[in-house]
Amino acid sequence: KSPKWAIAYKFKPEVKETKLLDVQYQVGRTGAITPVASLEPVYISGSTVSRCTLHNEEEIKRLDLHLGDTVKVIKSGEIIPKIIEVVTKLRQPDSIPISFAPFCPVCNGELYRGEDSPISYCTNTNCPAQIQRQLEHFCSRDAMDINGLGESLISRFIELGLIKCIQDIFALDYQSIAELDRLGAKSAQNLKAAVEESKTKNFDKVLFALGIRYVGDKTARTLASFFGNIDALLTADIETLKSVPDIGDIVANSVFSYMNNDNNKILIEDLRRIGLNFTFTSDQVSNALSSRTFLVTGTLPSLGRKEIEALVLKHGGKIVSSVSKNLDYLIVGDNAGSKLSKAQKLGSVNIINEADFIGMIEDN
C-alpha cells in the first residue's frame, strides 16, 4: 500500500522543560480513571500549557514519574501536550514516586483493570463523577440533544438534589427551577420543551445516549437499524450480535453485558414507560447512494460534516470511519488532512467535492 522508498520529513517539535507539581485523576462516564499531570505553566508552540494527560498507570510507570520532577514537554501534532521524558539528573533525592490511585478519587470505590487493558475503571455504578458524565453524555447534541442542559446546569442540579439519575431528567420540578438564580420562568419553560422534544428522538439516538462502552453514534445506528427495537436487542445472544455488519467481538461482548445487567434493564424499562422511543424508524428517502461508502474530510463550503453524513444515510449510503479499500468516495473540503493523502496513495477511492456529492443525489 505504501511506497517503501518514500520519506516524509517533519520539523522536530519544540521541547520545553517544566516541573511536575501534582497528578490528579479524572473519572469518565464509563468509570475510566485518567491521570492528569499538573505542570508549572510553560509556553510552548503558541500557547501556555499547565495540564497534560498521562493516559494510564503504565504511562506513569514508563516515565518513572516523581513529584517535583523536571520533565520535557512537547505538543504532539502541534496540539496535544505530552511528557516525553524526565530529566532525572535534576531529580531531588527525597522526591516521592507517583503511584497510581488505589481507589476511585471521587467515591473511593474499588478499581478494576482487565487482564489485557491498561485502563483502570471505578466499579461503583453510583459514583457521582460517573453519574455526572453519564448525564452530560445523555443530554449531548449527538444523543438526546436536550438544549440548555449542559455540564454546569447538570452539576448544579446534582448539588441541589434535583437530579440523581437519568430518569430524573424527565421528572424535573420546573417550578423550583424557575425560582433558581440566573434561570427564571422562561429558562424553565425552554428546558421543559427541550426535555419533551427529546422523547421524539429515534431509537439509535436513545441507544447512543445510554452510553454503552465502545458504542458510538454510528455503531448505535447500525445496531438500531439491524435489530429494529430494544426487545430484539435485549434478547440477542453473542453470536447474533457478532453477525451484525461492522460489529466485532469487543463491541458484541460490551453490548451483551450491558443488555444483561439488571440495573440497565431497569433503566431501559423506566425510559420506555416515560415515553422514549425504542423502535427504529428509517429516515431513508431513496436508494441513490445504495451500496456505496463515504467519508468526509476537511471543511465543506455549505454543509457541516453531520449534515453530509445524514444525507448519505437518507439516500441509502453508508458512512465509514477511515480510509481503506472498503471506501468508495472521499468527500473533500478545505484543509483536508491525512485522509486525502492516504486515499490518493490507495488509488481506488473516488475523491469528490461537496458539489459532486450533491450531484450524485440529484442525478438519481
Any idea which residue has 469518565 for its cell?
28
Cell numbers 497528578 correspond to what residue? Answer: 23
Q: pTM for this one?
A: 0.75
d(CA 52, CA 25): 11
Encode the chain (364 residues) as per-residue pLDDT tens digits. Answer: 456 677 777 778 899 999 999 999 999 988 999 999 999 999 998 899 999 999 999 999 999 999 999 999 999 877 899 999 999 999 999 999 999 999 999 999 999 998 888 999 999 978 989 999 999 999 999 999 999 999 999 999 999 999 999 999 999 999 999 999 989 999 999 999 999 999 999 999 999 999 998 999 989 999 999 999 999 999 999 999 999 988 999 999 999 999 999 989 999 999 999 999 999 998 888 888 988 999 999 899 999 888 998 899 899 898 888 898 889 999 999 888 788 989 998 889 999 999 999 999 988 7
Q: What is the pLDDT of residue 8?
A: 73
Domain extents in the chain: 12-124, 128-198, 203-274, 293-363
CATH fold of 293-363 reads Rossmann fold (3.40.50)
Tell me what pLDDT residue 115 has: 81
Q: What pLDDT does residue 360 have?
A: 92
Architecture per CATH, 128-198: Orthogonal Bundle (1.10)
Which listed CATH number (3.40.1390.10, 3.40.50.300, 2.40.50.140, 3.40.50.620) goes with 12-124? 2.40.50.140
Q: Does 128-198 match 203-274 in CATH topology? A: yes
Do 280 and 206 meet the contact criterion of CB atoms below 8 Å apart? no
pLDDT at 328: 94
Percentages (nearest 5) of helix, strand, coil residues in the chain: 40, 20, 40
Rounded-to-integer distance, Cα 349 and Cα 294, Å: 10
Nearest to 154 by CA among 29, 270, 279: 29
Please tell me the total number of residues recorded for the chain in this structure.
364
CATH number of 203-274: 1.10.150.20
